[in-house]
């Protein structure tokens, strides 16, 4: 068990217990909107791959590598800017990253070869990787403890799914209008919501917890007041100045915890991505569906996933993190085994099975991993913890996206989807045997104490 330190300072107690102010709601929605952009951009590639394969004459391996390009770029962005967000602050990174994203999203629309598209998509991924650890740390640090799971996990993923759903739905009219060149519009239009978010984020205050961790008391006071908490001289106590390091994150106090959360994150992302990012390619290849039918059914998967994430928002802070995990991962494993047995014999089973996989994933584990990677670590390491855990996630997704076309063309979908049940069952066992994964209703400072 994580040891319980003494009660936190009064200003943090009040910040944790007060109802969400309008400014907190506005900040949370605007920061979470970064995940709309992430969801749109990463999932639009699944639709674009349908068109890119014949246009560039891509082999299964080349198709998989191109699909994985954004995730590989994100790994670099996550690790570098997870560290910088703890050193320099949250706000500066999640403003700069969107400018970076806009430039290379537009660049993706004008390339003339698969090689240059890989480069542009890799750099877009770097921009995505900048945003994730910064925004998730910021949300954890401004959320009241009773709503932390819903804001940090469910709200982020609702935005992510809305982005994914938008990318899938917008692909249908774009293909009708522009044919095989529609992928350029799909990729370039990602710059529009990014530009809107860039403009909106300019007026947000820095995370007050981050400012205290850096000893910037006057700025922390202003940030608390911006969020509706008056911090007087008697209760404003800065933490010992500490910007942390990856060495500390991987050291004796947090190393085992970081390894467990990274492992759970990676296992979920490896298995879960078959029903999300890879869904259009699988539905088209295995179900022999038309382009429009593939995209419509993929959109259906995202609608079901959205319902699941809204359900998670109700449950995550009520029934507890671990119970929600069990419901999610064990259901996923059973559904994957049913798909392995029957999906190739029936397109109906394949489509309905993907709907069920989407619900099982997003009602629990897909939301929980984002929460664990933030709330189980202290303020001065939170950007790095999200950066590292998400880097393992993106590497796992990249591996799966690379393997899917190869698996479909060699040993087949049934064996592959059956094997993907194993990582989810392992997640259930890891969470069951490690009490640290239950953080409901506990203070952020308590959860982040070293083991």
DSSP-derived 3-state class of residue 232: coil
User: Rounded CA gap, 162 and 176, in Å?
Assistant: 22
CB of 56 within 8 A of CB of 288? no
Can you give the pLDDT at residue 385? 93
User: Rounded CA gap, 66 and 402, in Å?
Assistant: 8
Tell me, yes or no, whether 239 lies in a domain: yes
Can you give the pLDDT at residue 231? 60
Tell me, yes or no, whether 403 lies in a domain: yes
User: Rounded CA gap, 360 and 326, in Å?
Assistant: 10
Q: Which residue has the higher pLDDT, 440 or 136?
A: 136
Tell me, yes or no, whether 5 lies in a domain: no
* Structure tokens, 387: 């950066």
- Mean pLDDT over 191-211 rounds to 86
Tell me, yes or no, whether 274 lies in a domain: yes
Tell me, yes or no, whether 1 lies in a domain: no
Tell me, yes or no, whether 196 lies in a domain: yes
Q: Could you give the residue ranges of the DSSP H alpha helices within 273-290?
A: 279-287
Q: Which residue has the higher pLDDT, 121 or 409?
A: 121
Q: Could you give the residue ranges of the DSSP H alpha helices within 343-381?
A: 347-362, 365-375
CB of 274 within 8 A of CB of 400? yes
Taking alpha carbons only, the member of 135, 147, 210 closest to residue 17 is: 147
How high is the mean pLDDT of the chain? 84
CATH code, domain carrying 147 = 1.20.1250.20
Residue 241 confidence class, pLDDT cut points 50, 70, 90: low
- pLDDT > 70? residue 439: yes
Q: Which residue has the higher pLDDT, 47 or 207?
A: 207
- Mean pLDDT over 403-414 rounds to 81
Tell me, yes or no, whether 4 lies in a domain: no
Can you give the pLDDT at residue 169? 81
CB of 168 within 8 A of CB of 292? no
Q: Could you give the residue ranges of the DSSP H alpha helices within 110-155?
A: 114-142, 148
CB of 249 within 8 A of CB of 381? yes
Tell me, yes or no, whether 250 lies in a domain: yes
Residue 4 confidence class, pLDDT cut points 50, 70, 90: very low
- Which residue range is the domain that position 317 belongs to? 10-447
DSSP class of residue 125 equals H
- pLDDT > 60? residue 1: no
Chain segment 353-385, per-residue pLDDT in tens: 888 998 999 999 999 999 999 889 998 899 999
User: Rounded CA gap, 182 and 276, in Å?
Assistant: 21
Chain segment 266-284, per-residue pLDDT in tens: 999 999 888 776 676 777 7
Instruction: Please report, rounded to a whole number, the percentage of residues in the chain having pLDDT higher than 90.
Output: 24
CB of 94 within 8 A of CB of 138? yes
Residue 289 confidence class, pLDDT cut points 50, 70, 90: low
Chain segment 156-174, per-residue pLDDT in tens: 889 988 888 888 788 888 8
CB of 109 within 8 A of CB of 185? yes
Q: How many domains does the chain have?
A: 1
Can you give the pLDDT at residue 389? 93
């Amino acid at each position: 068990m994580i040891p319980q330190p003494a009660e936190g300072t009064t200003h943090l107690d009040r910040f944790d217990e007060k109802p969400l102010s309008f400014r907190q709601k506005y900040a949370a929605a605007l920061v979470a909107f970064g995940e709309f952009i992430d969801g749109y951009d990463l999932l639009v590639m699944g639709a674009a791959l349908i068109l890119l394969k014949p246009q560039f004459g891509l082999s299964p391996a080349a198709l998989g590598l191109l699909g994985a390009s954004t995730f590989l770029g994100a790994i670099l962005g996550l690790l570098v800017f997870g560290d910088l967000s703890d050193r320099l602050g949250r706000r500066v990174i999640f403003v700069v990253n969107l400018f970076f994203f806009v430039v290379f999203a537009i660049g993706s629309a004008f390339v003339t070869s698969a090689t240059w598209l890989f480069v542009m998509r890799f750099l877009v991924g770097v921009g995505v990787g900048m945003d994730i650890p910064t925004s998730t740390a910021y949300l954890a640090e401004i959320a009241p403890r009773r709503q932390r799971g819903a804001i940090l996990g469910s709200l982020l993923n609702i935005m992510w799914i809305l982005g994914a759903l938008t990318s899938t739905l917008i692909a249908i009219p774009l293909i009708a209008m522009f044919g095989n060149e529609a992928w350029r519009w799909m990729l370039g239009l990602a710059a529009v919501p990014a530009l809107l978010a860039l403009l909106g984020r300019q007026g947000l205050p820095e995370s007050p917890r981050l400012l205290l961790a850096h000893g910037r008391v006057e700025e922390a006071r202003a940030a608390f007041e911006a969020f509706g908490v008056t911090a007087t001289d008697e209760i404003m106590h800065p933490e010992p100045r500490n910007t942390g390091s990856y060495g500390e994150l991987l050291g004796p106090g947090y190393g085992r915890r970081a390894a467990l959360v990274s492992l759970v994150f990676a296992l979920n992302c490896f298995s879960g991505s078959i029903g999300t990012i890879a869904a259009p390619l699988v539905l088209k290849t295995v179900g022999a569906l038309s382009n429009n039918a593939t995209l419509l059914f993929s959109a259906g998967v995202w609608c079901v996933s959205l319902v699941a994430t809204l359900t998670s928002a109700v449950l995550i802070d009520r029934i507890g993190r671990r119970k929600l995990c069990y419901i999610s991962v064990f259901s996923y494993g059973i559904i994957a085994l049913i798909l392995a047995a029957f999906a190739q014999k029936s397109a109906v089973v394949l489509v309905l099975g993907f709907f069920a996989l989407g619900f099982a994933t997003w009602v629990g584990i897909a939301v929980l991993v984002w929460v664990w990677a933030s709330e189980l670590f202290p303020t001065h390491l939170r950007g790095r913890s999200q950066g590292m855990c998400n880097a393992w996630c993106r590497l796992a997704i990249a591996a799966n996206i690379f393997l899917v076309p190869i698996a479909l063309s060699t040993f087949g979908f049934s064996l592959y989807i059956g094997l993907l049940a194993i990582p989810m069952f392992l997640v259930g066992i890891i969470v069951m045997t490690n009490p640290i994964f239950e953080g409901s209703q506990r203070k952020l400072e308590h959860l982040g104490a070293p083991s």
